[in-house]
Structure 1
Amino acid sequence: MKKILFSLVIFLILMPVFVFGENRLDVKIGKSFEAGKEVKLSTKGQFKVVSGDFDEINKVDSQNITVIYKDGKIYISSKNFTMENFPSDGSLLISANKDIKVDNFKISYDGGISFRINDNKLDLINNIDLENYLRGILPKEMSPSFPDEALKAQAVASRSFALANINKYIKKGYNLNDTTACQVYKGKTSYDKKTDAAVKATEGEFLTYDGKICDAIFGASSGGYIADSSEVWGGNKSPYLISKEDPYSSYAWDFLLTSKELNKLKLGNIYTIDISEKDSSGRCKKIVITGQNGVKEMTGNEFRNAMGNMSVKSSLFEIINLGDSFQIKGRGFGHGVGLSQYGAVEMAKQKFDYKGILDFYYPGTTIENKDLGNEDK
C-alpha cells in the first residue's frame, strides 16, 4: 500500500493564511470536533487536495477520507493516501469532482472543505461560491412552496446579509457559520429547484443604502408592526431598519404561563407581571415581575428567552393575570426587524414583485447588481 507524506515545509510556499475570491465564502459547518474525534468525508467522485485557488496539488485517488485532529496536528488519510500536519489556515482544501458528504452531519456540500483550530477543537469550513451558498440557505430560511416573488425577495435579502456580515468571524479564520447567528445553511443537501430559480433570477443582486451594502435583517413575522433595529439591539439607528406599520404580516399567537415556566424566574410565587415600557413598535421594552422572593426587572427579549422563545414567539404581546397563571396574547414571530417573511408571502399574493417587497421592508434602499460568478457548477 503506497503512502504519500507531505511535510509542513511544502505548505509554507503555497498561499497566504486567509485567501478567497470576492465571490467565495468560508462557512463553518456543523459542530466543532474535540481532539481525537474522527471526521468522515465521502464522495461519489474522487477526492483531491487543492490550493486555495482550487489548483490541484495531489490526487487522493479515493472516495473516502478520514480527518482527525490530535497532538496539535491535523491528519487526513484514506486507503492509499496519508497527509500529516494538514494546514489549518485554508491554504489547502479537500475537493472532489462530485459533491462532498460529511458523514458525521449526513449533509453534502459543493466547493471544498478546509479546517481551522479554535479553542483546541477542529472546525470544518466549506469554501463555497456565494450563489451556491444561497442555494443552500433559501430552502431553510423560506419554504420552497412560497410564491416566487417572495423567494426572490428572500434571495436578495440573504445575499445582502451575507455580504454585509462577511467578516463576522474573521478572527476565527472564516466568514460565517451555518446557524441562525448568520443564516441557516445545509449545503447541497437542501437545494430545491424552486429556490434555485429564485437565486438564479436575482443573481448578483444586493441592497445598498447610501452606497453601502445593507445589513438586510429578516424574520418570520412582524406581527403587524416592524421593529426598529436600534430599539431591539441597541446601537446606532439604521435608516432602513425602522419602525413602521406592516399591514401584510398579522401572525397571532397566545401562550399560558404556568408554574413550570414561572419557576424559571426564581421568585417563588409570582403575584404580578407588568409591562412598564414599550418601544415605538409596541414591543415590550421593560417588564417588572413581582414575586414572593422579590422584584425582578427584565427586557422583553430577556423575558422571552427565559420563558422559551418558541413559546413566547415575540416581544409584541400583552399579559393577562388569571390569578394562578398568566396568559400572553402576542403577535409576530421573531425579533420583528426588517423583512417579514410571512409579509413577503402576502405581498406576493397581492401581486407585488420582489422589488416592491424589498422597497417596503427596506425603505430607501437600492438594488444593485454585480456579477459575482458561480464557479461550483
Structure 2
Amino acid sequence: MTIRAFFRGILAAAVGLLCSLPDFSDAAQSIRVLLASDVQRLDIRADKTIWVTDAEDRGHFFRSSLRVEVRGPALLLNGTRVIGDQITLRAGDRDLKLLLPRANGNGNGAAAQLNDEKSALQVSGLIQLLRRGKGLMVVNQVDLEEYVKGVVPAEVNSAWHPEMLKVQAVAARTYALYQHMLSAGRDYDVAASIQDQVYRGRQGIDARVIEAVESTRGLVVTHQGAPIYAAFSSTAAGITEDAVVVWAKDLPYLKGVECPFDIESPYYQWKASFKLETLEKNLRLLGFQVGTIATITPLTFSRAGRVATLRILHSKGELILRGEELRKAVGYTVVPSTQFTIESVGAEVVLAGYGAGHAVGLCQWGAKELAELGYSFSAILRYYYPGTDLQNASLTKAPPVPISGS
C-alpha cells in the first residue's frame, strides 16, 4: 500500500464516521410558527418576486404582490384557481410582508385593514398555508435564531439590561426547541401568541436584541441533557409557582423559588373587576354546567399562596374551579394572576391581587432586577430553573413526553 493510498483510507474512514454521526444540524435549524388560523383571505407583499409551490409541486411566481383567497374547495392566487390543501410561499433571501385580516369591530366577523402596509407582519423564511376546515392556517417556517430575535422584543423591553435580554433569548430558544422536538405530529411547533410566546417577526429588532441573540447563539437550558419546558411569565410578586400546581406537570426544574426582586413591576399590585354574567356565560362555553352564581370563595391555596381552587355555588349546584380556569374564563389580561383575594361578589366581581402571569419558572421582572444587580444571564437562568445546565442545542437529546395529571 502506498502512502497516498494509506491516507486516502484514513480520509475515507473519517468521512464515514462523520456521516454515521447523528445529524443535529437540522434539529433546531427552523421552527414552524403559527401566525394565524381560520384565515379566508391573505395579502402578501415582497420587494421582488414571490415564489409559490402548490400541493402538486407546481411552481408559480408573482411580481411583488399576491392575494390568496379561499373559494370553496380551491384556493385563488390573484384570482387564479389552484387545487390542493396547501401552498408554500417564499421570496428567496428577501422578507415577506403579510397583511393579515383583522376584525373590524362590528361583530359580524368581517375583515378590515387588509391593505394597511404599516400593520403588515414582516417575516423571514417561508410561509406555509394549510387548508384546515373552511379556512387557512398561516405558518412561518423560520430559522431558529431569527425566530428568537422576533420573540425577545415582543416579550421584554429591548432597552432592558443586556444580561436580561440574553436571559430572554436563551429561554425563548429553549422553549421553541422543546416544542419542536415534541411536535412531529402537529402542523406547527409554536403559536406566535401568549399561548406559547409572543413573536412579531422583524418588529422591534434592534442592535441590542441582535447582540443578545448572537452572543448566546445555540445555547439552551437543559435537564439531564434535554431542553426544558422553559416557562416564563411577567411578575411573580413572591415565590414562583410549582408547575404541578398550575398545569399538573411535575417537572423537577419548575419548582418554586423566592422572587423578591420584581417590586418595580407595574403589575406587582392590581385590582380587577368583571361582570358575573360574563363569567357564567364563558364557563358554559368552556363546558362547565353552571347556573346563576351566588357565591365565589377561594377553597385551596398553593404553597406559594396563590388560589389553587375556588368553590362556586350556583343555582344548579356546586362547581370546584381551578384558579387558572377562572383566569381563562374571564380573560388572562382581566385577571393577571391567581394571587388574589375576592373583595366583593355582586353584579360585578371585584378582585385585588399581585403579580402577572402563571408565575412558573422565570420571572421576567425579577430577572431584570437581578441583571441590574450584576448577575450574569447564566446565573439568573440557573436560579429560576433549579438543577439545570446550559448546553449547545446541537448536543441535546429529545425531552421526555410530559405526563399530565387530572
Q: Specify if TM > 0.5.
A: yes
Structure 1 residues 1-377: aligned runs within 5 Å: 21-22=26-27, 23-34=29-40, 38-49=41-52, 60=61, 62-77=63-78, 84-85=82-83, 88=86, 92-104=88-100, 106-166=120-180, 170-235=184-249, 237-250=250-263, 251-255=267-271, 257=273, 260-261=275-276, 264-265=279-280, 270=294, 273-290=296-313, 295-320=318-343, 328-370=351-393
Aligned-partner Cα distance in 2 for 1:93–1:308: 35
2:48 alignment partner, SS class: coil
Moved more, 59-68 or 334-343: 59-68
Q: Per-residue displacement from partner, 1:84-119 (whole Å, max 9, x unpaired)? A: 33662x7x5433342111123611111112221212
Counterpart of 2:43, as a letter, is K
Going from structure 1 to structure 2, the CA distance change for 1:205 and 1:167 (only over 3 Å counts) comes to closer
In structure 2, relative to structure 1, the CA distance for the partners of 1:276 and 1:110 (3 Å cut) is same
Q: How far off its partner does 1:190 sit? A: 3.6
Query: Residues 113 and 124 of structure 1 are in contact (CA less than 8 Å); yes or no, is this contact kept in structure 2?
Result: yes
Distance 1:97 1:182 in 2: 27
Unaligned runs of 5+ in 2: 1-24, 102-119, 281-289, 396-406
1:51, distance to aligned residue in structure 2 (A): 10
Structure 1 unaligned residues grouped into runs of 5+: 1-19, 373-377
Structure 1 contact 45–96 (Cα < 8 Å) conserved: no
Report deviation, 1:135.
1.1
1:222–1:45 Cα change, 3 Å: same
Which whole-Å deviations, capped at 9, do the CAs of 1:336-366 have from their partners, x for residues lacking one? 1000001111111111111111011001111
Alpha-carbon deviation of 1:63? 1.1
Give the C-alpha shift of residue 371 in structure 1.
Answer: 6.2
- Equivalences, count: 339
Given that 2:262 and 2:268 are in contact with CA atoms closer than 8 Å, whether structure 1 keeps it comes out as: no
What's the counterpart of residue 10 of structure 1? none
Q: Is the 8 A contact 1:275 1:288 kept in 2?
A: yes
Name the stretch that deviates more: 149-158 or 117-126. 117-126
Question: 1:57, 1:206 → 2: CA distance?
Answer: 38
Shift of 1:196: 1.9
Letter aligned with residue 264 of structure 1: L
Question: Does the CA-based 8 Å contact 1:218-1:338 persist in structure 2?
Answer: yes
For 2:269, the aligned partner's letter is W
Mapped partners of 2:382, 2:64: distance in 1: 47
After superposition, the C-alpha distances for 1:12-69 in whole angstroms (9 at most, x for unaligned) are xxxxxxxx943012222124323xxx322111122234799xxx98672611122233
**How far, CA to CA, are the matches of 2:244 and 2:343 in structure 1?**
28
SS for the counterpart of 1:198 is: helix
- What whole-Å deviation, never above 9, does each CA across 1:266-304 have from its counterpart, x for those lacking one? 76574x543221111111112224568765432222233
Cα distance, 1:66–1:286 mapped onto 2, change above 3 Å: closer
Q: Is the 8 A contact 2:220 2:227 kept in 1?
A: yes
Letter in 2 for 1:135: K
| 3-state SS in 1 of match to 2:91 | strand
Classify 1:93/1:63 alpha carbon distance in 2 versus 1 (closer, same or farther; 3 Å).
closer
SS of residue paired to 1:221: coil
- Contact 2:276 / 2:349 at 8 angstroms: preserved in 1? no
Residue identity in the other structure for 1:44:
D
Cα distance change of structure 1 residues 57 and 298 upon mapping to structure 2, 3 Å threshold? closer
C-alpha contact 2:37 2:136 (8 A) present in aligned 1: no
CA distance in 2 between partners of 1:322 and 1:63 (Å): 56
The 2-side partners of 1:326 and 1:117 are apart by 41
CA RMSD of aligned residues (A): 3.2
Classify the secondary structure of the residue corresponding to 1:47.
strand
Q: Report if the CA contact (8 A) 1:43-1:96 is conserved.
A: no
Letter in 2 for 1:176: V
The one-letter amino acid paired with 1:278 is F
Give the whole-Å Cα distance in 2 for the aligned partners of 1:39 and 1:306: 30
User: SS of 1:305's equivalent?
Assistant: helix
The aligned amino acid for 2:90 is I
CA displacement at 1:129 relative to structure 2: 0.4
